[in-house]
Structure 1
Amino acid sequence: MQRRLPPLNALKAFEAAARHLSFTKAAEELFVTQAAVSHQIKALEEFLSMKLFLRRNRTLLLTEEGQAYFLELKDIFKNLQEATERLLAKGSKGAITVAMPPSFASQWLVPRISRFSIEHPDIDVRIKAVDFDEGFLEDDVDVAIYYGKGRWSGVKADKLHTEFLTPLCSPLLFNGPKPLESLSDLRHHVLLHDLSREAWKNWLKSVGVAGVNVNQGPVFSHSMLVLQAAALGQGIALGNTILARPELDAGRLIMPFEEKVASRDAFYLVCDEAQAELGKIAAFRAWILAQVEEEQNDL
């Protein structure tokens, strides 16, 4: 016996209109005209032989039948969306989009991404270097790197490295005319700041050094710009040992002092909780966490 099902477009129009209680907002969501939504609703009402909406004083209301139908369809559409997302995530081939701050992309992931491609040749990684608010996963992003304390709801967040902050400078500056024999010598040098001057202030307080003017020196919008300025001998950066690793390994930067302070924040690998163990997302998570575990002891 053939099943009688209403057209999918009509159901989509009804679900959106019922959710917003507005044909106009439903049309905006579905990228169609208000007339098209109205036509789809009318077709659905004719198919069902009942009214689904009522207009009262320019307000759109659901009939009793319409309300009951909407409650059923809402769960069906949600289940359909989740099933589709799970199916897409299970795929071991295709592309995975990873969003992260530009500093993490250039200083950590890009130098290592070829290793993932060798292990998973069927997965193409698309790196999206963006500045965004922590705790926010865009619809076109499979995995993201956030920087913070890891307190984000509704996502799976894996802490990456435990990071340390320490002064960094060019070898030319270290061997220059101004001494860098003790932390108190920082008062003779230009301090370079990442976003604000608070980081230097908190670090000096943690190591018990006073008399250094933190209210001088340029402020940069990205960590990689601070590191570049330090490598060019323009001052001393309070560097993150993770992001500074390429410059340290190449000798463009050195650590003039032994003092390090563990950062309160860290980079976290973030994805949808429901997809963390599925397909290409699981493969990328496993790879990046293995990289971190291997490198952590070298910091």
Structure 2
Amino acid sequence: MKQGDPAVLARLPSLRALFIFDAAARHLNLVRAAEELGLTQGALSRQIKQLEDHLGAELFVRLPRGLDLTEAGDILRNHCLLAFRELRDGVSMISGVRTRQSLRIAAARSYATRILSHRVSSFVNRHPWIDLIVDGHRYLVDLARNESDAAIRVGDGRWSDVTGEKIEDDPLFPIASPDLIGQAGTTDVVALAEKAPLLHYMERPYWEVWTQRSNVAIKGHHRNVRFSETVMMIEAAEAGQGIAIARRSLVREALAMGRLVQLSPIEADDGIGYYFCATPEALRRETVRKFREWIFSLSAEDPQSD
């Protein structure tokens, strides 16, 4: 039976029913979904029950404090997302007017803070019809469940749920502020380590990686400061509180603007980097493609430019 067969079309739910389902699936809360749609909670519940009866499948599991999607509901939710985007794009093409679209990017907090927050104007200036949402996080959002349109993750690129594209090579090297260098009267890492604290990122052995690569020995040093966030460590270095090992991408702008100085030409690769991640379905969307093009162009740009 062909897709355009009247018998097939007759079994399709109404567009209104699917919009109502989509709101409930996004919120997983009947009260908030009803408020968005301008319905009472009772009316919303009846609409969902009618849709479930029409499809012959339960779409939600009713929980004490909300809803959860069943397997059938999860399938319908994903197809609704794709269908609504296709409809929106088609209407936009016909009308000749580009409609506003939102784009949610889940980004590692370090990348969101040190790079995206300093550069996002260049993206929205190029694509003013896109409302960009940057969600800084310390967890991996589920792209297959459309928790975000795309993500920038930090790691080795091996994730089971998605294939990542490495944005750029991102070696490690020692940094310090010009003020600290001036006070110490040297840019030598070993000499500086005798006069200032070593700043560490708690989750990765940056100093060990770099000293092994450079064959620089820093012994008998007992002034260490450890940070749970990379950004905190880098900002402490900018404030002259010590010397740190950092990734090039996160300090590129600070180096260009003179807030930090690279202390050694020797760089180390620890196999970790920032990756652009998106599902194949997401990459078919223009908003995601535009962001991907932009993010890969950043490393080639002057960090002081817009």
What is the TM-score when the length of structure 2 is the normalising length? 0.67
- The DSSP-based 3-state class of the residue aligned with 2:235 is helix
Distance in 2, matches of 1:89 and 1:184, equals 62
| Distance change >3 Å, CA 156–CA 277, structure 1 → 2 | farther
Q: Percent identity?
A: 25
Deviations 1:37-78 (Å, cap 9, x if unpaired)?
A: 9x959x94xx99xx999xxxxxxxxxxxxxxxx99x789837
1:239 to 239, 243, 246: 246
- What is aligned with 2:237? 230
| Distance change >3 Å, CA 213–CA 149, structure 1 → 2 | farther
- What is aligned with 2:104? 97
- What is aligned with 1:159? 166
Matched, 1:84 2:83: yes
Structure number with greater Rg is 1
Aligned length: 256
| Distance change >3 Å, CA 259–CA 273, structure 1 → 2 | same
2:208 to 201, 205, 212: 201
| Distance change >3 Å, CA 83–CA 178, structure 1 → 2 | closer
Distance in 1, matches of 2:75 and 2:181, equals 65
- The DSSP-based 3-state class of the residue aligned with 1:141 is coil
- What is aligned with 2:154? 147
Deviation (angstroms), 1:213: 4.7
Deviation (angstroms), 1:262: 2.3
Deviations 1:196-248 (Å, cap 9, x if unpaired)?
A: 46221222122112343576411112222111111111110111111112221
Distance in 2, matches of 1:195 and 1:181, equals 24
After TM superposition, the structure 1 = structure 2 runs for residues 172-183 of structure 1, keeping only pairs within 5 Å, are 172-177=179-184, 179-181=186-188, 183=190
Question: Is the Cα–Cα contact under 8 Å of residues 189 and 235 in structure 1 kept in the other structure?
Answer: yes
Question: Is the Cα–Cα contact under 8 Å of residues 89 and 281 in structure 1 kept in the other structure?
Answer: no
Deviation (angstroms), 1:102: 2.7
- The DSSP-based 3-state class of the residue aligned with 2:232 is helix
| Distance change >3 Å, CA 86–CA 153, structure 1 → 2 | farther
Q: Which runs of 5+ in 1 are unaligned?
A: 13-28, 54-69
Deviation (angstroms), 1:185: 5.2
Distance in 2, matches of 1:241 and 1:145, equals 16
Deviation (angstroms), 1:145: 0.9
| Distance change >3 Å, CA 241–CA 96, structure 1 → 2 | same
Distance in 2, matches of 1:295 and 1:176, equals 30
Distance in 1, matches of 2:288 and 2:272, equals 24
1:120 to 96, 103, 127: 127
| Distance change >3 Å, CA 211–CA 7, structure 1 → 2 | closer
Deviation (angstroms), 1:156: 4.0
- What is aligned with 2:95? none
Deviations 1:172-212 (Å, cap 9, x if unpaired)?
A: 21122464435465344310011246221222122112343
Distance in 2, matches of 1:88 and 1:257, equals 54
Distance in 1, matches of 2:11 and 2:189, equals 79
What is the TM-score when the length of structure 1 is the normalising length? 0.69
Question: Is the Cα–Cα contact under 8 Å of residues 110 and 230 in structure 2 kept in the other structure?
Answer: yes
AA partner of residue 223 (structure 1): T
Distance in 1, matches of 2:210 and 2:283, equals 35
Deviation (angstroms), 1:251: 1.3
